[in-house]
Chains A and B, each alone.
Chain A
Amino acid sequence: AQCFEFPLPCYSSPISFSFINHLVDFSYVGIDAILEQMRRKAMKQGFELNIMVVGQSGLGKSTLMNTLFKSKVSRKSVLATSQEKIPKTIEIKSISHDIEEKGVRMKLTVIDTPGFGDQINNENCWQPIMKFINDQYEAYLQEEININRKKRIPDSRVHCCIYFIPPTGHCLRPLDVEFMKRLSKVVNIVPVIAKADTLTLEERDFFKKKIREELRSNGIDVYPQKEFDEDAEDRMINEKIREMIPFAVVGSDQEYQVNGRRLLGRKTKWGTIEVENIAHCEFAYLRDLLIRTHMQNIKDITSSIHYEMYRVRRLNESNTAVTQANGIPEHHLSAHEM
Chain B
Amino acid sequence: MQEPQQQHQDHGGHEADRENEGQDHPHTPSYLRPPVAGRAQSDSGSEPSLTQSKCVEFDLPSPVSPSRPKSPWSLFDPYDNNEDKEYVGFATLPNQVHRKSVKKGFDFTLMVAGESGLGKSTLVNSLFLTDLYKDRKLLNAEERITQTVEITKHTVDIEEKGVKLKLTIVDTPGFGDAIDNTECWKSVADYIDQQFEQYFRDESGLNRKNIQDNRVHCCLYFISPFGHGLRPLDVEFMKALHEKVNIVPVLAKADTLTPTEVQKKKIKIREEIEQYGIKIYQFPDCDSDEDEEFKQQDLELKESIPFAVIGSNTVVEAKGKRVRGRLYPWGIVEVENSAHCDFVKLRNMLVRTHMQDLKDVTRETHYENYRAQCIQSMTRMVVKERNRNKLTRESGTDFPIPMGPAVSESETEKLIREKDEEDIMQTVPETLINKVKKQFLC
Contact B316 A17 (CB under 8 A): yes
B-contact bits for A29-49, CB 8 A (1 contact / 0 none): 111111111110111000101
- Quote the shortest CB–CB distance from B438 to chain A (angstroms): 8
Return chain A residues, CB-CB under 8 Å to B391: none
Return chain B residues, CB-CB under 8 Å to A318: 430-431, 434
Residue of B87, B160, B316 contacting most chain A CB atoms (<10 Å): B160
**Do A39 and B208 form a contact, CB below 8 Å, given A146-B429, A233-B68, A296-B100?**
no
Partner pick for B209 among A34, A233, A259, A304, CB 8 A cutoff = A304
**Do A291 and B88 form a contact, CB below 8 Å, given A18-B317, A37-B357, A42-B97?**
yes
What is the number of residues of chain B that contact chain A, defined by CB distance less than 8 Å?
100
Is B416 close to A, CB under 8 A?
no
Contact A237 B62 (CB under 8 A): yes
Partner pick for B207 among A27, A29, A338, CB 8 A cutoff = A338
Is B381 close to A, CB under 8 A?
no
Contact B206 A312 (CB under 8 A): yes
**Do A291 and B398 form a contact, CB below 8 Å, given A23-B129, A147-B376?**
no
- Quote the shortest CB–CB distance from A328 to chain B (angstroms): 15
Q: Which of A60-78 contact B (CB under 8 A)?
A: 68-70
**Residue of A whose beta carbon sits closest to that of B97:** A296
**Do A270 and B31 form a contact, CB below 8 Å, given A19-B315, A35-B163?**
no
A-contact bits for B120-147, CB 8 A (1 contact / 0 none): 0000000111110000000000000000
9-residue interface stretch from A79-87, A156-164, A279-287: A279-287
Contact B90 A104 (CB under 8 A): yes
- Quote the shortest CB–CB distance from A287 to chain B (angstroms): 7
**Residue of A whose beta carbon sits closest to that of B130:** A1
Q: A270 to B355, alpha carbons, bound, how many Å?
A: 61
A-contact bits for B299-318, CB 8 A (1 contact / 0 none): 00000000000000111111
**Residue of B whose beta carbon sits closest to that of A23:** B129
- Quote the shortest CB–CB distance from B111 to chain A (angstroms): 18
Return chain A residues, CB-CB under 8 Å to B98: 35, 38-39, 42
Return chain A residues, CB-CB under 8 Å to B102: 35
Q: A3 to B401, alpha carbons, bound, how many Å?
A: 53
**Residue of B whose beta carbon sits closest to that of A197:** B1
Q: A37 to B75, alpha carbons, bound, how many Å?
A: 12
Contact A104 B91 (CB under 8 A): yes
Is A236 close to B, CB under 8 A?
yes
A-contact bits for B347-375, CB 8 A (1 contact / 0 none): 11001111111001000100010011001
- Quote the shortest CB–CB distance from A271 to chain B (angstroms): 5
Return chain B residues, CB-CB under 8 Å to A36: 75
Contact B88 A22 (CB under 8 A): no
Return chain B residues, CB-CB under 8 Å to A308: 208-209
Return chain A residues, CB-CB under 8 Å to B92: 291-293, 295
Contact B90 A292 (CB under 8 A): yes
Contact A32 B163 (CB under 8 A): yes
Return chain A residues, CB-CB under 8 Å to B322: 11, 20, 25
**Residue of B whose beta carbon sits closest to that of A293:** B29
A-contact bits for B317-349, CB 8 A (1 contact / 0 none): 111101010010000100010000000000110
- Quote the shortest CB–CB distance from B27 to chain A (angstroms): 7
A-contact bits for B389-430, CB 8 A (1 contact / 0 none): 000000000100000000000000000000000000100011
- Quote the shortest CB–CB distance from A54 to chain B (angstroms): 22
Return chain B residues, CB-CB under 8 Å to A148: 368, 372
Residue of B11, B96, B106 contacting most chain A CB atoms (<10 Å): B96
Q: A1 to B371, alpha carbons, bound, how many Å?
A: 36
Q: A73 to B131, alpha carbons, bound, how many Å?
A: 56
Return chain A residues, CB-CB under 8 Å to B354: 37
Return chain A residues, CB-CB under 8 Å to B317: 11, 13, 16-20
Contact A288 B29 (CB under 8 A): yes
Q: A28 to B376, alpha carbons, bound, how many Å?
A: 46
Is A177 close to B, CB under 8 A?
no
Return chain A residues, CB-CB under 8 Å to B347: 29-30
- Quote the shortest CB–CB distance from B25 to chain A (angstroms): 12
Contact B207 A278 (CB under 8 A): no
9-residue interface stretch from B13-21, B220-228, B239-247: B13-21
Q: A106 to B88, alpha carbons, bound, how many Å?
A: 12
Q: A3 to B336, alpha carbons, bound, how many Å?
A: 21
Is B159 close to A, CB under 8 A?
yes
Q: A27 to B336, alpha carbons, bound, how many Å?
A: 13
Is B232 close to A, CB under 8 A?
no
Is B32 close to A, CB under 8 A?
yes
Q: Which of A275-316 contact B (CB under 8 A)?
A: 276-280, 284-285, 287-289, 291-297, 300, 304, 308, 312, 315-316
Chosen A-B contacts, 10 in total, with CB atoms closer than 8 Å, are A3-B162, A23-B129, A31-B106, A41-B356, A147-B372, A244-B31, A258-B11, A277-B17, A288-B30, A296-B99
Among all A-B residue pairs, the 8 with the closest Cβ atoms:
A288-B29, A296-B96, A102-B91, A37-B356, A33-B352, A292-B89, A1-B129, A32-B163
